[in-house]
């Protein structure tokens, strides 16, 4: 099983590139943002609680996110791979993810950080906000989402870099070009894994 963590600031293209990876490699795309939005849409009590955080641009508490993400992930234990889009978002979540996956023999194979300059991020996300239908795509909330990213998620880069596992990919180029670079990195590792198994 080949599991990928994909993280980056709002507007970096995580969802789009996860979709591309999923189509080509058959990996299951798990977006915590999407899972949480689906729960909000259902209008349950838990959905109502989740919306209080999402609609303000804050992180949803770990116990809720972990429970919902794992419920989804375990449905796909037989898939060739999983793409974690938007999870982890804190070092604590990264440690929890690692522990839970390792216990189930589903290790993380690759960590990709998608990097885009701040001005470009604003341009993309403000453009998208016109018709995204997302309750958190409003200027004030977008600002908070960026702040949350810088304060809570950015330390993850150092965390994975120190482990020698961080693959940094620029997300500034057109979607096709960014995907080309992502795919090269995945293929390199997939081929490497194949060779290790042969030995």
Report the interface residues with ligand AMP, using CB under 6 A: 10, 32-33, 36, 53-54, 57-60, 65, 86-87, 89, 93, 136, 145
- CB-nearer residue toward ligand AMP: 13 or 33: 33
Q: How far is the CB of 31 from ligand AMP (least distance, A)?
A: 6
Q: How far is the CB of 32 from ligand AMP (least distance, A)?
A: 3
Residue 122 burial by Cβ neighbours in a 10 Å radius (0-12, 13-18, 19+): middle
Residue with tokens 């589903």: 106
User: In which order are the strands placed within the sheet that holds 2-7?
Assistant: 28-31, 81-85, 2-7, 108-115, 166-170
Q: How far is the CB of 97 from ligand AMP (least distance, A)?
A: 9
Distance set, CA 78 to CA 23, 75, 83, 87 (Å): 17, 8, 14, 20
- CB-nearer residue toward ligand AMP: 74 or 187: 74
Closest residue to bound ligand AMP by CB: 33
CB atoms near residue 164 (< 10 Å):
6
- CB-nearer residue toward ligand AMP: 54 or 110: 54
- CB-nearer residue toward ligand AMP: 71 or 192: 71
Q: How far is the CB of 65 from ligand AMP (least distance, A)?
A: 4
């Amino acid at each position: 099983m080949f599991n990928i963590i994909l993280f980056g600031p709002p507007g970096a293209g995580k969802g789009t590139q996860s979709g591309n990876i999923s189509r080509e490699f058959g990996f299951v795309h798990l977006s915590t943002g999407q899972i949480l939005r689906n729960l909000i849409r259902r209008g349950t009590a838990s959905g109502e609680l989740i919306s209080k955080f999402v609609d303000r641009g804050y992180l949803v508490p770990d116990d809720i996110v972990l429970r919902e993400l794992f419920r989804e992930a375990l449905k796909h234990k037989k898939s060739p791979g999983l793409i974690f889009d938007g999870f982890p978002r804190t070092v604590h979540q990264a440690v929890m993810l690692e522990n839970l996956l390792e216990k189930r023999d589903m290790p993380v194979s690759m960590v990709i950080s998608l990097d885009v300059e701040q001005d470009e991020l604003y341009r993309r996300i403000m453009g998208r906000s016109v018709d995204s239908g997302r309750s958190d795509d409003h200027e004030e909330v977008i600002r908070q989402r960026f702040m949350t990213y810088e304060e809570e998620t950015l330390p993850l880069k150092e965390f994975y870099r120190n482990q020698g596992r961080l693959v940094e990919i620029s997300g500034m180029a057109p979607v096709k070009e960014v995907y080309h670079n992502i795919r090269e990195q995945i293929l390199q590792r997939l081929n490497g894994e194949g060779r290790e198994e042969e030995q």
